[in-house]
Amino acid sequence: MIDNWRKATYSANNSACVETGWADGLVGYRDTKHAALSDDNRPTLLFSKDAARTFLTMIRSTTN
């Protein structure tokens, strides 16, 4: 269970933000627009740490 969610540093001060958290070899991403839902019901993308690293590498390579 991920319990250390943090808002992304590049997020604006509105509800259009992304949060990330990690635990036990997993990395999770979720949208702050769903904050009213319980943690068990919030849509969340879960990746292994290796898959998350690959995901971020791919995103960074397309934004440069």
Assign 35 to helix, strand or coil: coil
Q: 33: which DSSP letter? A: G
The conformation of residue 3, written as its DSSP 8-state character, comes to: -
* 38-45: long-range contacts, CB 8 A cutoff, minimum separation 24: 44/2
Q: pLDDT grade, residue 64 (50/70/90)?
A: low
Find all residues with CB under 8 Å of 4, minimum gap 6, and list them.
Answer: 21, 22, 23
Summarised one tens digit per residue, pLDDT across range 2-44 is 999 998 777 666 667 889 999 999 999 998 888 889 888 999 9
- 52: pLDDT strictly greater than 90: yes
